[in-house]
Amino acid sequence: MADNHTIARPYAQATFELAKQSNGLAKWSEALDVARELLGDGQVAQFLGNPALTDDERLSFIADLLTSAGSKSSILAGGNKHGTNFLKLLLEYRRVSVLPEIADHFDALKAEVENTIDVTVTSAAPLSMAQQKTIAKALADRLGREVNLETEINENLIAGAVIRAGDVVIDASLRSRLEGLANALIT
């Protein structure tokens, strides 16, 4: 059986092309982000998997859920013919469960077109704004893309930082260096 990312890819590509043609990349991205959050909940997925529900009941439930989430999800909450048809298609082919992965692929396609990349910097202590700007500039120069920097704290790192930018991981943490030293001493 195919994994969810394989199943999600063509749906994300089709949705991306539709959003791009209608100059609605930001609106679709926001709506898919809300749907990812709501449908990523195991209880919602379990409810939608109930075989006693019809597709119309599922669609109504999803639309109500998205409507209650606010205006960011209006494209999928019945405010857009294409959004409603998208949800109907997912329901018809029993693909609603892959909506979080569709959102992930959509975001990746959007970032590629906009020449941006999401970067997470995990450090042992909070980074100052100056440090964040320095890291963002260095990564933008190295990757040739605009950087959206997010920071996290992990006290287990001892010192240093781990930077994740897509498939690129730069591990400059003291913990990693100590583990490397320990491995070298053991062999």
For the chain, the structural domain boundaries read 4-111, 116-186
Q: What is the pLDDT of residues 57-81, one digit of tens each?
A: 888 888 888 888 766 667 776 667 8
* Alpha helices (runs of H) in the chain, residue ranges in sequence order: 4-21, 25-39, 42-48, 55-69, 81-92, 99-114, 129-143, 174-186
Distance between CA atoms of residues 42 and 39, nearest Å: 7
Does 108 or 68 have the greater pLDDT score?
A: 108
Mean pLDDT within 94-113: 89
Distance between CA atoms of residues 42 and 97, nearest Å: 10
pLDDT above 90 coverage of the chain, percent: 20
Q: Of the ranges 3-7, 28-32, 103-107, 177-181, which one carries the lowest mean pLDDT score?
A: 177-181
Question: 4-111, what's its fold?
Answer: Peroxidase; domain 1 (1.10.520)
Neighbours of 14 (CB within 10 A): 13
Distance between CA atoms of residues 89 and 10, nearest Å: 13
Residue 2 has pLDDT above 70, yes or no: no
Residues 91/59, Cβ–Cβ less than 8 Å:
yes
Three-state DSSP class for residue 77? coil
Residues 71/78, Cβ–Cβ less than 8 Å:
no
pTM exceeds cut of 0.75: no
